[in-house]
Amino acid sequence: MYVVIGIVILLVMVFGGFALTGGALGPVMHAIPHEMLIIGGAAVGALVTGNSLHGLKALGGGFKKVFKGPRHTKQDHVDAIILTTKLMKLLRAEGPVALESHVTDPASSPIFAEFPRLLANKELTALICDTLTLIVVSSGTLEVHAVEEVMDNAMKTHFHEMHEPQHNLQTLADALPALGIVAAVLGVVKTMGSIDKPPSVLGGMIGSALVGTFMGVLLAYGMVAPIAQRLKQVLEADEQIFHAVKQVVIASLHGWPQPLVVESARSGLGHEFRPGLSELLDSLRGR
């Protein structure tokens, strides 16, 4: 929502300010479609050249994230802490054998069934189940730092893939001013081919060429770069739930008391998603 509002404010202030200071919008609007054909076409071509089909699909998904916001709600973070705490409590109370069926087939697990939104999150479910499966097959003999390193590697790989669309958008933002210059240069070349025309005609053609530079800079710093920044914020918010799960697992393996385990996970969440400690402990008791 705020993305749309921001773009509207940008366009109104730029073009409205130009009109209020006596600028004629007609020539600019006439030139924009032609300049955008060059700039936009070059941008799309560059994206296709530099990405696989998977990367292009991820870029489309990144745009959706910008407008939809973070995937996980505050309740999702609460549920993730509760789910992981229940699994670690089962491991500590009844041993690896009792936990095995839950982590090898989470779709059939009554514990996972309590949290359908988390179960639908394949990446998060995989992090939990793969980590706990390692603990199960090793009969609990793994060193805690080894488990933490495995989780860190899995999260690092996933986060890298998550951020690829954001990096692509930022690269595009960096390239757009240059693509605007390309469009402007072509406009100048066109103008030079009509050098015998009257000054009024040449002035209009030069003005149209400069619109290419203007659009490249406006798109880069007014739209694409802010969208890339917003996507980065959304993705970083989506990472928090993974860190909370990891903290529960590692703190539990260290043998910390449950309230301390829960607090270690809760305190690492941003204020937007962080529940109160009493609220979280009450939710645990209710489960």
Question: Do residues 81 and 280 make contact, with C-beta atoms less than 8 angstroms apart?
Answer: yes
Measure the CA angle with vertex 161, ends 177 and 174; round to 5°: 10
pLDDT at 27: 83
Domain assignment present for 192 = yes
Please count the structural domains in the chain: 1
10 membership: H or E segment, kind and range: helix 2-20
Tens digit of each residue's pLDDT, the chain (287 residues): 788 899 999 999 999 998 998 888 888 888 889 889 999 999 999 999 999 999 999 999 998 999 999 999 999 999 999 999 999 999 988 888 899 999 999 999 999 999 999 999 999 999 999 999 998 988 767 789 999 999 999 999 999 999 999 999 999 999 999 999 999 998 888 888 877 778 777 777 888 888 989 999 999 999 999 999 999 999 999 999 999 999 999 999 999 998 899 999 999 999 999 988 888 888 887 66
Range of the domain at 189: 30-287
Q: Which residues of 75-90 are buried (b: 16+ CB within 10 A; e: fewer)?
A: ebbbbbbbbbbbbbeb
Q: Which two tokens stand for residue 43?
A: 């941008």
Domain assignment present for 25 = no
Task: Look up the pTM and report it.
Answer: 0.88
Domain assignment present for 197 = yes
Domain assignment present for 22 = no
- 285 burial level (CB within 10 Å; 0-12, 13-18, 19+): exposed
pLDDT at 192: 81
Amino acid identity of residue 221, one-letter, is Y
Domain assignment present for 8 = no
CA distances from 34 to 92, 212, 219 (A): 67, 9, 15
Domain assignment present for 15 = no
Amino acid identity of residue 273, one-letter, is F
Domain assignment present for 279 = yes
pLDDT at 287: 60
Question: Do residues 192 and 265 make contact, with C-beta atoms less than 8 angstroms apart?
Answer: no
Which residues fall within 8 angstroms of residue 10, CB to CB, at 6 or more apart?
A: 222, 223
pLDDT at 202: 73
Domain assignment present for 221 = yes
